[in-house]
Amino acid sequence: MSDVIILGAGIVGVSTGIHLLRRGRSVTLIDKREPGRETSFGNAGIIQREGVRPHAFPRDLAMLMQVGLHLSTAARYEPLALPRLAPALLRYWWASSPESYKRVVASYAPLIGRSIIAHQDLIEQAGPDAAALIQKGGWFLAFRSDEGLRKEAAKAQADKERFGISHRVVEWPELKTIEPDLKGGLAGAIHWTDPWTVTNPGELVSQYFKLFEKLGGTFVQGEAKDLTQDASGWSVTANGARLSGKQAVVALGPWAPDLLDKLGYRLPLFVKRGYHMHYGTEGNAKLNNLLLDAEVGYVIAPMARGIRLTTGAEFALRDAAPTPIQLGKAEAAAKELFPLGDRRDPEPWKGARPCTPDMMPIIGKAPKHDGLYAGIGHAHHGFTLGPATGELLAQAMTGEKTAIDIKPFGMERFL
C-alpha cells in the first residue's frame, strides 16, 4: 500500500506526485497512457501568468450569432450535443455575467499568480533538459483591427495596475521587425512579457515525470476502475492489479466523472474540445514567437515539430468523433498572415479540456469522503496551473497551510 494513489498522469497528477514525494509520502501514479500524452500534450504551450481572466461565455449578440450560425473560428458546437451540454452551458453563461465574472477573477488571479513560481520550482529540480524547453520572451496577442487593439490595450493597462502584469503595445511596423515573415493584415499586438512559452509541452511533462521517478514515485500503466473506500483507505483496479493508498487523488481531467459519479459527486463538468496540427513553412520563413490571432481565434507557435496551430473551443461530447471543420478554418486564416507550409502530422490531434461552469478548477478535498481529493476542471489553463495545483493539493493533504486560499476552488460549491 502507498500513502497516496493518484489517478491521472497528466501535468496535474505528475506535479501532485512530486510535491507529495517531497513531503515524505509514498506515491503510486496510475494512467491508461504514458504520462502527459492526453490533454497535457496538445496545447499552445503557454505558462499563462497573464491569464487572470478565464475564458468567459460570450454575451454580446454578434459573437453569439457567429457561433450559432457556425461562422466563428474561435468556437463551434455540435448540435446533437446541446441537449446534454445545455444545463452546464446555462450555468456558464450565468457565471459570465459582469458581476459574477468580477468575483471569479478576484478568486482566480491568486491561483494564476502561482503559475510561473510553481513551474520554475519543478523546472529547476527536473534539470537542464526541462529548462531547454522554456522560452521567456512572452507571447503576442495580435489584432487585425485597430479598434480591437486599442480596446485590448485598455484592458491590459487595467490588469497591469490591478495585478502587476507586464505588457507592451506593439504597433504593426515594430511587429513586422520582430516577425519579418508575417505577411501583413495586422494592426499590431499586445506583447505579454511575463508568461513563458514551451517548445514541446508533452516533453516538459515527461521531464517532470522523470523527476517523479527520481524521487521514488511508482507508475502503473492501466485504466483505473472501481475506486472504492475501505477501512484502510482507497483502492482501485488497474492493469489487473488492486492498488491501494491511504489517500487518493482524482486528477483525470475530462475522465474524472467516470469515477466521481459513482461516488456521488455528479459535478457539472463539460468539455471544450480542441485540435492541433504541425506545419512546415514556405521557403525559409521563420516564426520567432507564439502569436494568437485574437479576432479570429487560433494560435500559431514555433514548436519542436514545426509550427503548431491550435484551435479554439469545440463544444461537443467528450468521446464523439473528431470534426475537421474548425482546424480547416483556422488553417486558412493563419495562411493569410504567415506562410505555413505542408502539414506534418498524419491527422489532427484532438483533446478535451475539462471545464466547470464557473471557469474555476476544483482543487481540494472531496466533501463526502475522508482521504479523497481532486484536482480537475482547469479548462484552458491546465498546462499553466498543473504545478500550482499539485503544490496546493500536497499542502492540503499533509496539513500544511496552502500557499493561497483554496476555498473558492472547493468541490462543495457544486453539491
Instruction: Report pLDDT digits (tens) over 376-399.
Output: 999 999 999 999 999 999 999 999
94: region left, alpha or beta (phi > 0 left; psi from -120 to 50 alpha): alpha
Give how far the C-alpha of residue 32 lies from the chain's centroid of Cα atoms, to the nearest Å: 20
The yes-or-no verdict on residue 351 having pLDDT over 90 is yes
Residue 142 host element (H or E): strand 139-143
Whether the Cβ atoms of residue 342 and residue 186 lie closer than 8 Å to each other: no
Contacts of 357 (CB under 8 A, 6+ apart): 88, 89, 91, 92, 94, 95, 268, 270
Segments in 322-368 forming alpha helices (H): 325-337
> What structural domains does the chain harbor?
2-42+203-265+360-414 (3.50.50.60), 61-99+133-197+269-355 (3.30.9.10)
What interhelical angle do 115-126 and 201-214 show, nearest 10?
60
Spatial distance between the Cα atoms of 139 and 12, rounded to a whole number of angstroms: 23
Contacts of 292 (CB under 8 A, 6+ apart): 44, 139, 140, 141, 142, 298, 299
- Cell of residue 414, nine digits: 457544486
Q: What is the pLDDT of residues 14-50, one digit of tens each?
A: 999 999 999 999 999 999 999 988 888 888 999 999 9
Using only C-alpha atoms, the chain has a radius of gyration, in whole angstroms, of 21
- Per-residue pLDDT, 77: 85
pLDDT band at 62 (very low <50, low <70, confident <90, very high): low
Predicted structure pTM score: 0.96
Please list the residues that pair with 75 across neighbouring strands.
313
Strands of 80-195 (E only): list them. Answer: 134-135, 139-143, 167-171, 188-192
pLDDT band at 71 (very low <50, low <70, confident <90, very high): low
- Per-residue pLDDT, 38: 84
Spatial distance between the Cα atoms of 283 and 306, rounded to a whole number of angstroms: 14
- Identify the CA nearest to 252 among candidates 372, 130, 347, 86: 372
Place of cell 480537475: 376
- Cell of residue 331, nine digits: 488553417
